[in-house]
A and B are shown apart, each in its own frame.
Chain A
Amino acid sequence: MSVPLLRIERLRKDFGGVHALSEVSFSVREGDIHALIGPNGAGKTTLFNCATGVFSPSEGEVWFRERRLTGLAPHRIAARGVARTAQNLRPWREMTVLENVLVGCHLLGHAGMVAGALHLPSSLREERRLREITMRRLEQAHLAEYADHLVGELALGQQRMVELTRALASNPRMLMLDEPAAGLHTRETQELGGLLTSLRGQGLTVLLIEHDMSLVMSICDRVVVLDYGEKIAEGAPREVQADPRVVAAYLGEEVS
């Protein structure tokens, strides 16, 4: 069996006396779309935050491409090839669509403040290169005509596309999405599903938190279910769906 791209190992996170995560372990295979589901407060976002360096876990480790991520600062984890979106990390509304995706390209450049202020030839060359990459990305995402709009002016579905385009701009190996379909119409959600499937076709691995079960069922290869900070099920979407513990977790019933 091939080595997993991302390995979560016995992850535990306590906030005071609250166990947000306890002993959660699972792996994400390269090239999969992997879903993380569970009722509100199950610890999904906490797991994302532990994996991307926003929180440091109380115990356990996170490995990516056989290198440890635990203990690294968020920007270093991004530099390893893990891009993420989050519900509180929406695009920069006061910046244009072009600028948003340019910031997404941050890791592809090197120019510092002094080089940028003095317009050194190397920084201008780099700027041109980043802008070419950005425009290409915007064209692929059908956002080119909005390049100079402030993100705050766009419709929600378009803002979500900006967010995805920004996250993809630095050519990550893995994309972590926190509720990418939240607030989208059915048609927009289907388009999102189509886009994620085609990204998988290009070799990208996706780990997503999602409440929209039709999206999860239609595009995901594997699903992990969390409840009260514990992993209660894992497997292919159909298996997980039939698991009585999962149904109980969602309906709030005891399993007898």
Chain B
Amino acid sequence: MRGGGWARSRILGLTLFAAAIFTFGLTVHSGYLLGMAVLIALHALVALGLGLLMGWAGQISLGHAGFYGLGAYASAILTTRFGLNPWLALVLGAVGTGLIAFAVGKPTLRLRGHYLAMGTLGLGLIIWTVFNQAATWTEGPSGIRDIPVLSLGGLALDNDQRFYWLIWPVVLVAVMLAGNLINSRMGRALRALGENEGAAAAAGVDVARAKLGVFTLSAVLASIAGSFYAHYVTFVNPSPFGFALSIQLMTMVVVGGEMTVWGPLVGAGVLTVLHQVLAISAQRIPAMEGLEVVAYGAVLVIFLLFRPQGLVAPLRRRGAPPRAAEPPAPRADEVVGEAS
């Protein structure tokens, strides 16, 4: 770890992750499973950014589905209406979403407490309403069709398998960069303020600015994931980007664990699969209809109560010996003890 390089455990983790991506991609040919894997990857990208915000900056966003949707709609509109190159549309969407997040975060993050949660809750609802109502641009509830697919070096990424080989390496790179960030100067500042804001400020950390930075970064990541979504499905409508997805994304972070970069990834996997299982059961058993929301709520509560650190907890904390006892209170009788 000395010299700012990579710890051996990080290299091992990333290598195993890359190996898993390769193994799955080479052995699995079912379009259904590959499609599922792509969906997990898209959610993982958003959850990764949200995890940085929740785990390290101690803030909650209830509007990340909105940022995800902004990326998707930006790509959809810019490519179908203006014929922009999809990659350029992705970048423009990310920049625009980043600016919106910055504008919302700037006033709310100066205040202590969960003002960001309220601000992003409102923002998410506004974005969703705009998707539905601004029909001139968004086609309203019926959505935008015929979004072009991405192509890479002349190869159109027009099936699940090809898209898999794009999106999972993107997730790998994102995990790598998030790990770099956590072990950098600003990453440490974020962890410090997550544990004790006052102490971080006393060490010279500009608390409001650090929070704003990570919030904007997480919104940009969500937007990029949204753009990928639009070009993968080639169709967007408002319904996937509502409040329910914001809750689902937050649950992913809580279930997976917010204190490592792997937690949100695992959470995205577990919750996306759970979502599918519930959707299929609802189709077969009519009584299961609408049970999904209850299931998420239950999962969220169970984890917060019984395993608040999530499925993936940092390794070293598990083996930590019991804490040193708290200091005894200063003895009042000593105060003038030497005064004679």
A: which residues have CB within 8 A of B? 39-40, 52-54, 73-75, 78-79, 83-86, 88-95, 99, 102-104, 106-107, 109, 111-113, 115-119, 123-124, 126-128, 130-131, 148, 150, 152-156, 159, 166-167, 170, 179, 182-184, 211-214, 217, 241, 247, 250-251
Tell me if B192 counts as interface (CB < 8 A to partner A).
Answer: yes
Q: In the assembled complex, which residues on chain A have CB atoms less than 8 Å from the CB atom of B204? A: 75, 78-79, 106-107, 170
B contact residues around A179 at 8 Å (CB): 330
Q: Which B residues from 35 to 71 make CB contacts under 8 A with A? A: none
Sample 6 A-B pairs with CB under 8 A, ordered by A number: A83-B202, A89-B199, A123-B4, A182-B329, A213-B335, A251-B336
Tell me whether B186 and A74 are in contact (CB under 8 A). Answer: no
Task: Judge if B78 is at the interface, Cβ distance under 8 Å.
Answer: no
**Which of chain A's residues have a CB closer than 8 A to the CB of B149?**
none
Contacts of A107 in B (CB 8 A): 203-204
Main secondary structure of the interface of B (DSSP, over half): helix
B286 within 8 A of A: no
* Min C-beta distance of B110 to chain A, whole Å: 10
Which 8 A-B residue pairings sit nearest by Cβ, starting from the closest?
Answer: A183-B327, A116-B184, A127-B4, A74-B201, A78-B204, A107-B204, A89-B199, A117-B181
- Distance (Å) between the CB of A77 and the closest chain B CB? 9
Most buried by B among A74, A115, A123: A74
Bound Cα distance A73, B210 (Å):
14
Which chain B residue has the least Cβ–Cβ distance from A249? B336
Q: Known pairs A117-B178, A156-B324, A250-B336; list 18 more (Cβ under 8 Å).
A: A40-B332, A74-B201, A95-B192, A102-B188, A113-B181, A113-B184, A116-B181, A117-B177, A117-B180, A117-B181, A118-B177, A123-B184, A130-B185, A152-B323, A153-B324, A182-B329, A184-B327, A211-B334
* Residue B289 CB within 8 A of the other chain: no
Given contacts A123-B185, A131-B3, A183-B327, contact A73 B321 (CB under 8 A): no
